[in-house]
Chains A and B, each alone.
Chain A
């Protein structure tokens, strides 16, 4: 069946396909791609999750020779992709509940194995709420059984679909409707939250990776890599949410890039509990550059909030240290004692 596939300009250096040889161009640029999450879904303008899912799922389909079953947790992706009576999915797709996607996917994988159809692969998808909180028990169960499932978590750092409430993935100081910017420590408290990629690593599963929509080639490559492996695999994708984060819908990639380039969101791969590869920072930015893009952090720029900002910078610095995010090719920031002008960066367009 021939299909009208639309091309989208997603950012000149995010995909940059025309300058690349055919074989390293992104899967999304291929008119023969599966287009598993097709157009017509109801995602918000600038939705990072829709973007990430489109890339991730088509890459997974490619890696599965088109034989892929998706299990989706309740959440933004499920809701905007299947507005009754329509569906955007051009693949077998199952939505059960909020907290059970990993277990349901394990059941699908077991069924396929029992029926001798291990050529059909299984992809589980969920937001941070369904993965980090309510689905956490099932996620850990899937990991420790080493079920043959690739689980992709689209992390927009909160329960966005229900009106922006705090989850276990919400970063400290972030404003949500259940961690308001009031009181002595406005926003989400420090000292809470979970680092699920590291927890996944602690299960010593075959593959764990983090990615963001700022580097879609990287996301596709990681999904492709994951599909070459069997057993429990986990990819954690940072997907900015303009609505929940209070960022401009056209800034989604910029926000994601600032998250990685500040060190707040480390991008790496791990196999069986050991970090195996790291995406080093290209041009380091201070954490404040990231914060200023999002009104969920606006209260951090009121007087007296220097300590909170400093703590966030310390978190970023810790990640840089821990994962070795600054390397010989990094345009690193000057040390803390020196002045820190960042206005000469040609890639930062406009102000929040």
Chain B
């Protein structure tokens, strides 16, 4: 079972992100479960959503305690809420930010997880591709690349189905761009790792 946890603030589409991810997984033939951990509708409050993907039916209902992948949609949460609690050693992290992990003070996190902790300027990508600072679908494009959990095409198909045409178009473009950006960065990291190993 692959467990994802998404952190953000109310109004950023955190819950929708988890749902989209679960629908993409379902479309690929997986069993999937997505659910929120939040309360009364309130913009700006910390929100968490969860998504599980599994080849077998999912019965468990507890919150994701040991995520294999983490998405942080709002970097202001990084030092306010313990977003990394329970992150597996082999876990992936994708943070919505134009800064690097080092600039965000995440060196300890990266240690031992080379190539699996990335930042992505998803809000900027969103603004660029469809004029609104909504990073949720964009980050899913990045997650697909980072983890290989789902195909990009599954993500974009779900976006096309769930959103009105105009909105979908921009989100798909941004998610695709995010996907390619993460892939490129992963290739660069592999290169650095390879060359680093070679240098040892």
A and B touch in the complex (CB under 8 A): no
